[in-house]
Structure 1
Amino acid sequence: MRSPHDDAAVADTLHTILSSVTDLLGFELATISLVQPDGALETVAVAGTSEAQLALMGHRIESSVVESELADAEEWGPLRFMPHDRMRLPAERFVWVPQDVEPTDDPTRWHPLDVLVAPLRDEEGRLRALISVDSPEDRLRPAGEDRKNLERFIDQTRPAVLNLIERSELAAQLRLADAARLVVREASSELSIQSIIDVTQHAITRCFDAFGMWIQTFDEDGDGKGVIHASNGAEIRLSEDIRRIARPAARMMWDAQLVAVIGQDSVRPAVLTPEHENQIFDFMRTIEVTSMLFIPLGAGKECLGNLVLTRHDDARADWSDMEQRVALDIGHDLGRALLNARAFERERRLVDELRELDSYKSRLVATLAHELKNPLTSILGHTEILGASPDLGAAERTSVGAVERGAARMQRLVDDLLTLAHAGDPHTPFTPTPVDLHAAVLEAVDLLRVTVNHKALDVVVEAPEDSIKVLAEPDGVEQILSNLISNATKYTPEGGRVTVRLTPMKRYVRLEVSDTGLGISPRDQEQLFSEFFRSTNPEAVALPGTGLGLAIVQRIVERHRGRIHFTSELGEGTTFTVTLPRA
């Protein structure tokens, strides 16, 4: 854990204070050790020789060990003197022993293993720092005026050092709080509540020096007890009573914009009855925590849940005013993140439902089409047999021809329905492979050669000499090309022009099919990709079609994560543009 005192300005100030000891009070060595978050005393400033600085900087010792030695030390006002012969632990754990100083038994002289320190305590009596002085220049134990000067120095220095520690810790905590808030705000892009916790829990628990955390989210309908999301995959089992207590408490605290500290030594929050508080204390004992910080989460006027931070150290059971203010800010940020996650979850469910509905529709269409396909095949077969009979008269042949044309039209419709159902079913496996788009275009044009020649159309294919491959399903590419190019030839008058243009880009290939045909009215353009839509243009209606071709193309393009759009002017022609992923 990074020390809250890792600040160059703090170290410089502490070193300046120590320089007064070495320069004015006649000691060759002085150090300041600060109590770290883990309870150890760590030396953060040293005034003395470079050899001593190298040996002592960063030196650590458990504060409990120091407290034990201080209890038996001689009291010199604010100082504590520990003669080398009365220490229980080796003095080397406390001081640096220079190699060139000779030990002595003279009680007035300074022994290399003597320890003289000044414990600096805050208003609550907690040890926060330790000033140590060593190696008096006169090699005598401080007495008389020398000791009084040293005591005055400690009395004057104590508030300055404690204020410096407090400001340093406050600044460090503010930096951590800002970092935690930044992490929480960035978590708004996460799409699930558990992801939000996974992203933010380290920053939040570190900011508040907390043992653990969990979030209880409330159901949207307001009837349920919500869901518990714990950090680090932990399982938090809240009783039904605790969950029922949390919901109204969180709502009342969100309305009042307050957080609550819950612990044996804290004032009972007004939103809790004594019975509720006892139930919570019983629960805290089962999870071995000494205090909790209860934070409502919300956005606007809506309370969405609560965040609970825990501590299990009696020495850190308190939560400062600043921590409570920062916690409320994080409650706002987390509330917005939860609102986003909830909205995404609603959208995901809706998309799943729509996808399932679309899949059901596709399966229904496919089933009906299959059921129609067999009798249609039978009808066409029998009309072919009837048409070949020499005994039919002119009227009968006309009827048979009408039946055959109607059945053929229905068969085209059934085939298009099957294609549409396959392309639109989200459960249909998607297996793309590299497809030579240029070769596929040439093949599609060749299949329409009879129509092209009959209408004397000028069909031009513009493409680079090198092959252009797209990552697609071959059948899908064939459907796209046959529909777009056949539409262009169908709706272009005799002597017109159809242009198919291929343009490779970095990640996609652009396919353009342009014609000089009928064009599409603005009114028809709005519904062009709708299923079974037929143009209102009488010239277009006169031409055969099922109204499914462009709907099929759009489904296939979307299936390939491509895009399709068009431009058209009535009477001047139409251009369809499709982009497909490049292989």
Structure 2
Amino acid sequence: FMLLAGCFWVFFRHLMPIGTLYSLCGIIFLYNLFFALLFKSQQQLTYQTAIFSIRLQIFLDWLALLLFIHFTGGIFSPLVFFTILHVIIDAMIFSPAQCYIYTAALLIGLGVLIVLEYVLRIVPVNSLWLGPQPPPLETVPMVIAFILFSFVLFCATFLATSIMGRFRQRELDVRRLSGNLQKALTRMETLYEATKAMVTSYDLETVLNRIVQDSARIMDAKGAAVRLLQEGSRELRLAATWGLSDAYLHKGPVTTEDGLTPKKPEDVIMVEDVDTDGRLKYPQENREEGIRSIISVPLVHKGKIIGDLRIYGKTRHHYTDDEISFLKILAGGVAVIIDNARAWKALEESNRRIISFAYRIGHDLKSPVVAIQSLLTAMQDGFAGDVPPKQKEILNRCIAKQEQLLQLIRDLLNLAEGQMSIEGHKLVAIQLDTIAADSIKLLETVARERGIAIHYTHPEQPVMFQEVPGDFQRLFFNLLDNAIRYTPAGGTVAVALNSTAETISLMIKDSGIGIEPEYKEKIFDEFFRTPQAKQCHTDGTGLGLAIVKGIVQRYRGDICVESEPGKGTVFIITLPRQ
């Protein structure tokens, strides 16, 4: 408008009120600046306020356009064609019906302007084509021209709204497609997490809680729950839930006869409207909870229903085939997770019983073996009379084998005890740096006799820890004993202990025979010894490193090994701070 006002000043300044036109430009600038600041401000406008502001701005734009038309020649002003541009702008903002209303209002405004300028002649006008004070116009041609212009304007409105309608439909399609893609991506992520949980986690409660939360979020539901069928009964036990109140969850017993439990593996129970479905056992409680639709998918494992996954919708909902398919896949994953967790629990219980049995057997064997060793030692020392040389040789071999048997029993007891949980045991506070130093002193004489130097890097501060009495003494002893045993004369053994606010790390490094790469994963197995170890020392139970690993895992730590044949081995243990 400023540019047009300048053009009028250049070519028609003897006819146009240039000052008035520039004043109009200033007013248009000011109110548009006001609306721009209003919409860009941090203040959150309500929907009604925003719509009112937009309509007010459109009204002011129409009024300004009519005034420009009047001051630049009336209905014969070239600015009349700007109404078509404004119709296109309206079509971008408003619905078709509102655009037709605005077009009709504009035509009414133009009609009023014609009447005031050329019929009643109460508003003077300077025409660009007819000069100042143009003569009266013929009524019939003027009406025909107005009708034709109205037709053109309505045609422009029709075209603009039709084109914008198609654009809006395309936009809606793109948004719908984007939403479907986002849902598909979220579903894939949920299925991926469920699949990962099948093989990486046996914490059933945590995994199920995560799955019901994700499934409710994906389905845009009020809540979700997993119920498991109690063995030997028809009652369904709540295993995991999200989004449901305690009052609703404890509304009463939930059995296979509550109307929501699938009877066959392929069944899916869908309640699209809880108000009209007569299968529900607790319809009133569902309404009070704000539940309006429910879908129940069976958890099937090996052809047998072990429970169900239930999604509780907050609105009446018709479940699509895609949603049902997704929930079936998710329910299948949940069933596998439950079965894996149960199998792992049974395996842990079996392992616990085996360890307990081995511990009891080892403990029962230790006493008679020690007694036999004492008697043999007494005979060797001559307490039962002189022993002939031949018999003494046999007696010495018996005592040596008896010592090996006693060491094996001790190792079995240590192994069994290290694999037991620390729960239920009384923990005592220790200084790991002190335990390390004591273990080094205990083996220092043996190392010196074999020509092996031990270097110990002390931590700057005492490293406090809580243990089941004797655990870390066994850990340090086994690691140091192995390092000294398999390091040749002139070699070194280095021990370093460090701690941070989160972890404690222990490193034991030797310059011994090393470990072949193919045996690195096996050295922590019970009774396993590498061929090189057997060549160096024929005796040994192969339980030392298994005991060490059991103790490390007992305190939720990690142990790793780095080794190169002929150059030595490094064991690194990391423990979390308690």
- Quickly say closer, same or farther: Cα 1:178–1:330, change in 2 above 3 A: farther
Name the CA distance, whole Å, in 1 between partners of 2:414 and 2:309: 51
Name the CA distance, whole Å, in 1 between partners of 2:391 and 2:351: 44
Could you report, residue by residue, the CA deviation over 1:301-350 in whole angstroms, capped at 9, with x for unpaired residues?
x9985646589xxxx9xx4xxx436x877666666665554444333222
Could you report, residue by residue, the CA deviation over 1:171-216 in whole angstroms, capped at 9, with x for unpaired residues?
xxx9x99999999988978736567668987x799x77xxx87757
Residue 555 of structure 1 and its aligned partner are, at CA, apart by 0.2
Residue 562 (structure 1) aligns with: 557
Aligned pair 1:293/2:293, yes or no? yes
Residue 546 (structure 2) aligns with: 551
Name the CA distance, whole Å, in 2 between partners of 1:446 and 1:497: 15
Residue 512 (structure 1) aligns with: 507
Residue 264 of structure 1 and its aligned partner are, at CA, apart by 7.9
Residue 532 (structure 1) aligns with: 527
Residue 423 of structure 1 and its aligned partner are, at CA, apart by 0.8
Name the CA distance, whole Å, in 1 between partners of 2:404 and 2:379: 19
Q: Where do 1:156-167 residues align within 5 Å?
A: none
Q: Where do 1:185-204 residues align within 5 Å?
A: 191=206, 193=208
Rg (Cα) greater in structure? 2
Greater CA deviation, 10-19 or 510-519?
10-19
Name the CA distance, whole Å, in 1 between partners of 2:552 and 2:49: 65
Q: Where do 1:166-177 residues align within 5 Å?
A: none
Aligned pair 1:503/2:498, yes or no? yes
Name the CA distance, whole Å, in 1 between partners of 2:547 and 2:186: 45
Residue 261 (structure 1) aligns with: 272
Name the CA distance, whole Å, in 2 between partners of 1:431 and 1:293: 52
Residue 477 (structure 2) aligns with: 482
Which residue type is aligned with residue 351 of structure 2?
D
1:360 to 353, 361, 364: 353
**Preserved contact between residue 298 and residue 336 of structure 1 (Cα < 8 Å):** no
Aligned pair 1:370/2:408, yes or no? no
Name the CA distance, whole Å, in 1 between partners of 2:493 and 2:366: 34
- Quickly say closer, same or farther: Cα 1:403–1:285, change in 2 above 3 A: closer
Which structure shows the higher strand fraction?
Answer: 1
Residue 499 of structure 1 and its aligned partner are, at CA, apart by 1.2
Q: Alignment partner of 1:467: what SS? A: coil
| Percent identity for Structure 1 against Structure 2 | 20
Name the CA distance, whole Å, in 1 between partners of 2:298 and 2:45: 36
Q: Where do 1:115-154 residues align within 5 Å?
A: none
Residue 49 (structure 1) aligns with: none
TM-score by length of 1: 0.55
Residue 537 of structure 1 and its aligned partner are, at CA, apart by 2.1
Q: Alignment partner of 2:496: what SS? A: strand
Q: Where do 1:27-106 residues align within 5 Å?
A: none
**Preserved contact between residue 218 and residue 247 of structure 1 (Cα < 8 Å):** no
**Preserved contact between residue 298 and residue 334 of structure 1 (Cα < 8 Å):** no
**Preserved contact between residue 236 and residue 256 of structure 2 (Cα < 8 Å):** no
Q: Alignment partner of 1:425: what SS? A: coil
Q: Alignment partner of 2:551: what SS? A: helix
Name the CA distance, whole Å, in 1 between partners of 2:448 and 2:400: 24
Q: What RMSD, in angstroms, separates the aligned Cα atoms of the two structures? A: 5.1
Structure 2 unaligned blocks of 5 or more: 1-43, 60-171, 195-204
Q: Alignment partner of 2:488: what SS? A: coil
Aligned pair 1:9/2:47, yes or no? yes
Residue 484 of structure 1 and its aligned partner are, at CA, apart by 0.7
Q: Alignment partner of 1:502: what SS? A: strand
Residue 387 of structure 1 and its aligned partner are, at CA, apart by 1.4
Q: Alignment partner of 1:513: what SS? A: strand
Aligned pair 1:391/2:386, yes or no? yes
Greater CA deviation, 371-380 or 460-469?
460-469
Residue 293 of structure 1 and its aligned partner are, at CA, apart by 3.0
- Quickly say closer, same or farther: Cα 1:261–1:483, change in 2 above 3 A: closer
Could you report, residue by residue, the CA deviation over 1:525-550 in whole angstroms, capped at 9, with x for unpaired residues?
33211111122127545342111111
**Preserved contact between residue 260 and residue 294 of structure 1 (Cα < 8 Å):** yes
Structure 1 unaligned blocks of 5 or more: 1-5, 22-169, 266-276
Q: Alignment partner of 1:528: what SS? A: coil
- Quickly say closer, same or farther: Cα 1:505–1:251, change in 2 above 3 A: same
Name the CA distance, whole Å, in 2 between partners of 1:379 and 1:263: 78
Which residue type is aligned with residue 519 of structure 2?
D
**Preserved contact between residue 352 and residue 420 of structure 2 (Cα < 8 Å):** yes
Name the CA distance, whole Å, in 2 between partners of 1:510 and 1:388: 47
Q: Where do 1:218-367 residues align within 5 Å?
A: 231-233=244-246, 234=248, 235=251, 243=259, 246-247=262-263, 251=266, 261-262=272-273, 280=279, 284=283, 293-295=293-295, 297=297, 305=308, 307=310, 309=312, 319=316, 323-324=317-318, 338-339=331-332, 341-367=334-360
Q: Alignment partner of 1:529: what SS? A: coil
Which structure shows the higher helix fraction?
Answer: 2
Q: Alignment partner of 2:272: what SS? A: strand
- Quickly say closer, same or farther: Cα 1:469–1:244, change in 2 above 3 A: closer
Residue 97 (structure 2) aligns with: none
Which residue type is aligned with residue 280 of structure 1?
R
Q: Alignment partner of 1:537: what SS? A: helix
Aligned pair 1:381/2:392, yes or no? no
Q: Alignment partner of 2:470: what SS? A: helix
Which residue type is aligned with residue 380 of structure 2?
G
Which residue type is aligned with residue 482 of structure 2?
N
Name the CA distance, whole Å, in 2 between partners of 1:543 and 1:353: 38
Which residue type is aligned with residue 293 of structure 1?
S
Name the CA distance, whole Å, in 2 between partners of 1:13 and 1:573: 79
**Preserved contact between residue 373 and residue 411 of structure 1 (Cα < 8 Å):** yes
Which residue type is aligned with residue 545 of structure 2?
L
The count of corresponding residues between Structure 1 and Structure 2 is 401
Q: Where do 1:376-455 residues align within 5 Å?
A: 376-389=369-382, 390-426=385-421, 429-455=424-450
Which residue type is aligned with residue 477 of structure 1?
F
